[in-house]
A = this chain, B = another copy of it.
Amino acid sequence: MHYFSYKGRDFFCEETKVCSIAQKFGTPLYVYSKRTIFRHFHKIKEAFASINPLICYSVKANSNLSILNTLVREGAGLDIVSGGELFRAKKVNCPPQRVVYASVGKTDEEIKDAIKYGILLFNVESLGELAQINKIAGQLSENVDVTLRINPDIEPKTHKYITTGRKETKFGMDINTARKVFLKRGDFRFLKIRGVHIHIGSQITQSSPFIKAIKKVKGLIDDIKKEGINLKYFNIGGGLGIVYDKEKPQTAKVFADRVLPLLKAISLKTILEPGRFIVGNAGILITKVLYVKDTPSKKFIIVDAGMNDLLRPSLYEAYHRIVPLDRKPKTKDRRPKKADVVGPICESGDFLGKGRKLDVEKGDYLAVLGAGAYGFSMSSNYNSRRLTGEVLVDADKVYCIRERQNYSDLISKECIVT
């Protein structure tokens, strides 16, 4: 449930008319609803209240400092994947003991910075990484907590690019390798292996892949416990799906009800890493219609937002609902033809939606829904376009949380060699 809806003809974010935001801040623009972010975070918190998990928001979904700050002030931890995300965690003063760090490619510099900040733990993805963190911990004379990321070889039924728990993917260790590591844990003097981590993918709408993965890993955990090894954490990652189109994803409550018995039986501190679930439907991308082009073959609605602003349709063939900010009354005269909603970028991959019935003309505004996760965070300067602004709506107040780039920003790191 999110707080974007029509009141009469006008599309609102909470108590704010989105059209007035477009007029004040210009387009394209990302607009987020603070109340929706709160709501989704607390939905998860309440659903899992009986085991009091550490909920680490997945920064990569949407890394704007104001959003991180909002969540951290509510008690969230942060799931980071790079030195840049660690930098952001520091900027919002996230308590280090609420930061967990996953990534198959952590550099020495990033590992050092994270150890120095005193993060809770590293989710380790390979033997090489384990050795490297041990080495750096030794150099810094620190003892470092880690969990092993297990690749449970589970098909999560989502897009191949966001499937991360199949054995053919680069993520984690197979169960046998992990078992050997636990038995040889003495080889890593400066590490304490405190648990296991799984993250099987993103935008998963059913609980069964999670259940399967947890059950698989439970066997490993049981074996390790029998060896007398003391574990503390079980990190089940993120990946909860949301509604983009006609999906009927499980609610946080239904998901929790299904996995809680398993988690209680495992009896370790649970870590959750939701990202899309919290911010996905808490953000929209607003855009202006530049031209309506009706060709003999097809109709196009050309808007001022492109694939550089929202890559998901192009990269994942992802569906996003697109609605007008001003919903015109239906009459017999107004029978919109199906149209492709496309951006100004010079390639055919630049589209936001295909075959949409929208009653719009030049100058009208549209909202691309479900753009809060992997929207701005994947945006680029392709075609020398400026990164958009971002605003956060709190009831009837609108805060600029990122200024739009200007042209000078595009070249601020460049110099002309003659």
Residues of A participating in the B interface, judged by any CB pair closer than 8 Å: 59-60, 63-66, 69, 73, 81-85, 87-88, 91-92, 102-107, 125-129, 132, 151, 160-164, 167-171, 173-174, 176-177, 202, 290-293, 295-298, 300, 302-304, 306, 311, 314-315, 340, 342-349, 362, 377-387, 389-390, 392, 399-405, 407, 409-411, 413-418
Contacts and interface: CB of A to CB of B under 8 A. Distances in A.
A160 B296 CA distance: 20
B168 A103 contact: no
A413 B417 contact: no
Given A104-B342, A340-B170, A348-B161, A415 B400 contact: yes
Residue among A63, A82, A379, A404 with max Cβ neighbours from chain B (10 Å):
A82
A385 B105 CA distance: 12
Contacts of A343: 105
Contact of A417 (B69, B177, B295): B69
A84 B383 contact: yes
Most chain B C-beta atoms within 10 Å of own C-beta, residue among A127, A348, A403, A409: A348
B292 A84 contact: no
19 contacts: A69-B418, A81-B345, A83-B384, A84-B381, A84-B383, A84-B410, A87-B384, A103-B345, A103-B383, A104-B291, A104-B342, A105-B290, A129-B291, A160-B348, A161-B347, A315-B315, A315-B349, A378-B382, A402-B415
Given A390-B414, A404-B413, 6 more contacts: A66-B415, A162-B349, A171-B346, A311-B380, A379-B381, A401-B416
A64 to B, nearest CB: 6
A275 to B, nearest CB: 10
Given A102-B346, A315-B314, A417 B107 contact: no
Closest 4 CB pairs of A and B: A105-B344, A84-B384, A161-B349, A380-B380
* Of A105, A347, A378, most B-chain CB atoms within 10 Å: A105
